DNA sequence: CCAGATTTGGCAAAAAAATGCAAAAAAACA
DNA sequence: TGTTTTTTTGCATTTTTTTGCCAAATCTGG
């Protein structure tokens, strides 16, 4: 069996069963466990699976686990620091939800004078504490999971806005599938925000790069800029560079 | 079962049931309690759960628990305790802003199923943490002083609502001048809420009784009930009793 | 304060992974 | 085609990780 063929077999097994054991694979393909381990390492390096002691797990199965650890807090602060450099006095800014955006709200320069539109409760709480920014809350039903407003009224309001820049905290970004999410209502809001903004900036920690979720929000071509905690010349970001997206 | 897989299982259990017992998990997964304990420690170290004697708690459950257990002797807490007795399943409730209303939001019975309309950021944050109430946020510009939404859009939305009951935190209540306030925009919102509700309940600490502010919100005849931290037969409340207002 | 339950930390056995190395296979090249 | 180079694979050894057990320490609810 060819190496390539073997790795594709492993990948199928992982995605089918959500987990595989090194020992099972070794027996099934009749190669040594060392070889399987090397294959798993390569697949894990290219982000296709998650390696674990004794075998590997599928990415989709693993996403709930890796999100929102306390260690990502520093990364999100770093992202917020970069993002605020894009802000200018007098701008009209659309702001999505999520912990990264809330960090951005905490990191606003003290003298900024701008108008923020948001449907995120935690972000609004932070924005409103700033002495000189105006906050317009986009009302509607509040989603329990994401703590942002969702629904037709909210989308209608967003459609009336013509913002200079839009900051979106995102859950999954992939070269092939673009921007994806797992909550239908939230996706509708994000799409509306992208439509209503001249410039779209996606904020995300690097571990969400090259991951996919179930519902498409936008293609890569709709994004103007990506901000992560990595240096802009990190090799993980190369594909996005080549796609013509600015990296900060 | 792989270690990683096991930890994901535990994490899902914790988030699902808000708490888990070491012994239950040990039996469910068929590993020793030591192993479970180590898993819980690791998950706790990375901030995903809160470890406790005998098991672990979910993060969200733990924080709301903390928030609920403080200030048990505060006057506003006492008022909130009285106010929640008015709530019934299936009601549509208009909720104003202010710290007293936020206490009310923290004191909701765990099993209540109702729909809250509010323009207050702090109150909404509390309402949304409740497992079974719906929250509709009334959007518009957010007033920095009061942290509630104010403006024409908000009033328009409130006019569309026909609520069963309305809770207003108030700044001044007087036999002669009735309900008064010092913020023009906030007054407009309160007037709209009173118009849109079958029953109007005013929440206030006793020291605000028999005080006046500059702008009139409503006459006494528009109020159905007043809730303070005092006993309902306190002599301070006699005049309001005589005006035909219920006291709790 | 007590008795039982729970946790902690050390220890050791087993399992798995990493490492270095050499043979075999495949690819590249003259 | 024959030779060299690179890649792949398996093996032996060392290192790391995982796990259960145990005893001492700690906590819990009367």
Q: Is residue A210 within 8 Å of A46, Cβ to Cβ? A: no
Nearest beta carbon to residue B136 from set A124, A138, A141: A141
Rounded CA separation B4/B9 (Å): 9
Q: Give the residue whose CA sits closest to D8 at C1'.
A: A3
Same domain, A106 and A223: yes
3-state SS class at B150: strand
Inter-chain CB proximity B121 and A121 less than 8 Å: yes
A89: domain CATH number?
Answer: 3.40.50.10470
Same domain, A169 and A191: yes
Angle at alpha carbon of residue A45, lines to A41 and A49, rounded to 5°: 75
A8: domain CATH number?
Answer: 1.10.10.10
Q: Which long-range contacts (CB under 8 A, 24 or more apart) does A104-107 make?
A: A104/A79, A104/A80, A104/A167, A104/A203, A106/A80, A107/A77, A107/A80, A107/A81, A107/A83
Strand D–CB A32 distance below 7 A: yes
For A46-63, b where at least 16 C-beta lie within 10 A, e where not — what string? eebbbbbeebbbbbebbb
Same domain, A219 and A111: yes
Write out chain A's pLDDT in tens, 248 residues: 788 889 989 988 988 888 899 999 999 888 999 999 999 998 887 778 889 999 999 877 766 565 555 557 778 999 999 999 999 999 999 999 998 999 999 999 999 999 999 999 999 999 999 999 999 999 999 998 889 999 999 999 999 999 999 999 998 898 888 999 989 999 999 999 999 999 999 999 887 887 788 899 999 999 999 999 888 877 678 778 888 899 98
Q: Which two tokens stand for residue A212?
A: 């996919």
Same domain, B155 and B45: no
Domain ends where: A15, A38, A66?
A66
ipTM for this model: 0.69
Same domain, A32 and A98: no
Rounded CA separation B204/B198 (Å): 20
Same domain, A124 and A93: yes
- Say how far B54 CA is from C4 C1', in Å: 14
Angle at alpha carbon of residue A229, lines to A217 and A232, rounded to 5°: 90
Residue B62 Cα to chain centre, angstroms: 17
Rounded CA separation A154/A141 (Å): 8
Residue A77 burial by CB count (10 A; 0-12/13-18/19+): exposed, middle or buried? middle
3-state SS class at B207: helix
Rounded CA separation B145/A69 (Å): 34
Residue B44 domain boundaries: 3-66
Give the residue on B whose Cα is nearest the Cα of A123.
B121
Same domain, B127 and B201: yes
Same domain, B26 and B81: no
Angle at alpha carbon of residue B209, lines to B208 and B215, rounded to 5°: 75
Same domain, B118 and B94: yes
Give the residue on B whose Cα is nearest the Cα of A136.
B141
Same domain, B143 and B155: yes
Same domain, A105 and A180: yes
- Say how far B34 CA is from C11 C1', in Å: 14
Full 3-state SS string of chain A: CCHHHHHHHHHHHHHHHCEEEHHHHHHHHCCCHHHHHHHHHHHHHCCCEEEECCEEEEHHHHHHHHCCCCCHHHHHHHHHHHHHCCCCCCCEEEECCCHHHHHHHHCCCCCCCCEEEECEHHHHHHHHCCCCCEEEECCEEECCCCCEEECHHHHHHHHCCCEEEEEEECCEEECCCEEEECCHHHHHHHHHHHHCEEEEEEECCHHHECCCCCEEEECHHHCCEEECCCCCCCHHHHHHHHCCCEEC
Strand C–CB A152 distance below 7 A: no
Confidence (pLDDT) at B70: 47
Q: Look at chain B and report how many structural domains it folds into.
A: 2
Domain ends where: A24, A47, A66?
A66
Gyration radius from chain A CA atoms: 20
**pLDDT tens sequence across B3-62:** 989 998 888 888 777 788 998 899 888 899 999 999 999 888 888 888 888 889 887 665
Same domain, A155 and A77: yes
Which of A233, A225, A210 lies closest to A66, judged by CA? A210
């Amino acid at each position: 069996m060819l190496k390539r063929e073997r790795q594709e077999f492993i990948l199928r097994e992982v995605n089918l069963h959500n987990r595989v054991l090194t020992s099972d694979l070794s027996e099934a393909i009749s190669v040594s466990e060392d070889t399987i381990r090397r294959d798993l390492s390569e697949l894990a390096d290219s982000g296709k699976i998650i390696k674990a002691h004794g075998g590997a797990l599928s990415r989709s199965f693993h996403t709930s686990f890796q999100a929102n650890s306390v260690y990502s807090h520093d990364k999100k602060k770093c992202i917020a620091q970069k993002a605020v450099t894009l802000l200018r006095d007098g701008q009209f800014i659309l702001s999505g939800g999520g912990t990264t955006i809330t960090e951005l709200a905490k990191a606003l320069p003290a003298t900024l004078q701008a108008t923020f539109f948001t449907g995120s409760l935690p972000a609004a709480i932070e924005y409103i504490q700033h002495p000189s920014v105006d906050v317009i809350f986009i009302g509607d039903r509040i989603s329990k999971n994401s703590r942002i407003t969702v629904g037709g009224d909210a989308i209608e309001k967003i459609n009336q806005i013509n913002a200079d820049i839009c900051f979106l905290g995102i859950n999954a970004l992939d070269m092939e599938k673009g921007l994806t999410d797992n909550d239908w209502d939230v996706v509708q809001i994000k799409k509306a925000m992208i439509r209503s903004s001249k410039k779209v900036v996606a904020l995300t920690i690097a571990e969400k790069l090259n991951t996919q979720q179930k519902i498409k929000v936008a293609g890569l071509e709709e994004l103007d800029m990506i901000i992560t905690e990595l240096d802009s010349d990190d090799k993980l970001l190369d594909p996005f560079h080549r796609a013509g997206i600015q990296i900060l």
